[in-house]
C-alpha cells in the first residue's frame, strides 16, 4: 500500500474531546448542559445500535441524552405531537428522528416538522436551502465529517477537482455543495453517469457514497488522489472470502496502491459522522444561549 491511511477514528476522538472541553465551559457559564433528543420508532436492530451509540457519545461529551422509543405502530400524528413538544422544550438543543421510519409515516413530513434551528441532522428543507445558498445552518453530519477529514488532509481545497459519486439528499448532494463552498470544481456522478471510471480519473478528490461494495477500483483513480469512502456494505457471509465483512464502496486493496490518501472502512467516515452530530448539538446549544466558543469546531 502506498496511500496514507486517513484515521477517522483518531480525528473523531480529537473533535469529541475538543467539544467536551467546550461543553465544560458552557455548563459553567450557563448552569445547564446541552441536550440531544433522539426519537426511534420501531425495533429495527441497526437503528437501535445507531441510537445507542449516539446516546453514549452525547453523554461522553458531557451533554444530556433524551431517548424516545416509540412502538412501530405509533400513529404519525403522535410522532408529530412529540416533535412539537421537543421543539418547545428548552432542554432539547438538538432533535433527531432516526431513519428509516415505518412505511405508514411520511418521513418528509416528520423531518420538516423539526425546528430548523434544532435540526442537528441537517435534513430539514430549510437547512438544505441554507446550505445551497451559503447561509449558516445545520449541515448533515456525514458530509460535514468528510469535509473535515479532507481539510485536515489537504489543507486548502480551493481549485481542486472533486468527484462525488452518489446524489442522495443526506450524503451526495450536501457533500457536493460543501466542496463547492470550499471552491472545488465539483462533478456529481450517479447511476446514470456515462463512463464513470473516466469521470473519476479526473479527480483530485473522490467521495464515494453509493452503497455498492468495492465498486471504485484502483485503476479508476488519478495517482495521488484523496479518496473518502462513505459506503458501508456488509459482504454476504456465503461468498468466498466474504465472511460477513464490512467494506466500503471503494476496493481498498487496489485503490490504496494508487491513491495519495484514503479512508478505511470501518474506521474512516463512520466515527466522524457521530462526532459531527455531537458538534452540531453543541453548536445549537451555543447559538441558543449566545455562548461564544473559542475553537473552530
Q: Which residues are catalytic?
A: 54, 98, 121
Q: Report if residue 191 touches ligand NAD, rule: CB under 6 A.
A: yes
Q: Binding residue for ligand NAD (CB under 6 A) from 65, 273, 280, 281?
A: 273
**Nearest distance from residue 210's CB to ligand NAD, in Å?**
4
Map the footprint of ligand NAD across residues 218-247, applying CB under 6 A: 230-233
Q: Report if residue 171 touches ligand NAD, rule: CB under 6 A.
A: yes
Q: Which three cell numbers stand for residue 26?
A: 458552557
Q: Report if residue 209 touches ligand NAD, rule: CB under 6 A.
A: yes
Q: Report if residue 168 touches ligand NAD, rule: CB under 6 A.
A: yes
The site map against ligand NAD for 136-165 (x = CB under 6 A) is: ------x----------------------x
User: Please, which residue, 53 or 185, has the CB nearer to ligand NAD?
Assistant: 53
Q: Report if residue 210 touches ligand NAD, rule: CB under 6 A.
A: yes
**Nearest distance from residue 199's CB to ligand NAD, in Å?**
9
User: Please, which residue, 165 or 250, has the CB nearer to ligand NAD?
Assistant: 165
**Nearest distance from residue 72's CB to ligand NAD, in Å?**
22
User: Please, which residue, 116 or 174, has the CB nearer to ligand NAD?
Assistant: 174
Cα–Cα distance between 216 and 212 in angstroms, integer? 9
Q: Report if residue 211 touches ligand NAD, rule: CB under 6 A.
A: yes
Binding footprint of ligand NAD on the chain (CB under 6 A): 142, 165-168, 170-172, 189-191, 193, 196, 209-212, 230-233, 269-270, 273
Amino acid at each position: 500500500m502506498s496511500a496514507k491511511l486517513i484515521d477517522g477514528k483518531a480525528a473523531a476522538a480529537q473533535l469529541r474531546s475538543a467539544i467536551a472541553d467546550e461543553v465544560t465551559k458552557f455548563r459553567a457559564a450557563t448552569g445547564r448542559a446541552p441536550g440531544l433528543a433522539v426519537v426511534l420508532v420501531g425495533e429495527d436492530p441497526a437503528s437501535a445500535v445507531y441510537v445507542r451509540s449516539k446516546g453514549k457519545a452525547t453523554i461522553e461529551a458531557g451533554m444530556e441524552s433524551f431517548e424516545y422509543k416509540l412502538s412501530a405502530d405509533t400513529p404519525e400524528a403522535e410522532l408529530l405531537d412529540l416533535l412539537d413538544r421537543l421543539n418547545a422544550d428548552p432542554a432539547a438543543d438538538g432533535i433527531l428522528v432516526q431513519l428509516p421510519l415505518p412505511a405508514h409515516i411520511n418521513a418528509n413530513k416528520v423531518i420538516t416538522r423539526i425546528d430548523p434551528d434544532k435540526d442537528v441532522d441537517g435534513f430539514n428543507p430549510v437547512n438544505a436551502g441554507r446550505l445551497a445558498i451559503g447561509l449558516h445552518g445545520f449541515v448533515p453530519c456525514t458530509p460535514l465529517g468528510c469535509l473535515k477529514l479532507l481539510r485536515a488532509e489537504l489543507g486548502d481545497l480551493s481549485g481542486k477537482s472533486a468527484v462525488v459519486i452518489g446524489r442522495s439528499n443526506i450524503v451526495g448532494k450536501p457533500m457536493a455543495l460543501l466542496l463547492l463552498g470550499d471552491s472545488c470544481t465539483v462533478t456529481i456522478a450517479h447511476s446514470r453517469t456515462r463512463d464513470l471510471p473516466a469521470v473519476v480519473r479526473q479527480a483530485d478528490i473522490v467521495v464515494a457514497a453509493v452503497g455498492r461494495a468495492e465498486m471504485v477500483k484502483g485503476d479508476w483513480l488519478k495517482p495521488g488522489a484523496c479518496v473518502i469512502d462513505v459506503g458501508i456494505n456488509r459482504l454476504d457471509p456465503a461468498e468466498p472470502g466474504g465472511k460477513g465483512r464490512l467494506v466500503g464502496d471503494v476496493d481498498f486493496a487496489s485503490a490504496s496502491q494508487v491513491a495519495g490518501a484514503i479512508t478505511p472502512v470501518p474506521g474512516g467516515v463512520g466515527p466522524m459522522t457521530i462526532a459531527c452530530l455531537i458538534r452540531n448539538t453543541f453548536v445549537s446549544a451555543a447559538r441558543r444561549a449566545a455562548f461564544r466558543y473559542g475553537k473552530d469546531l
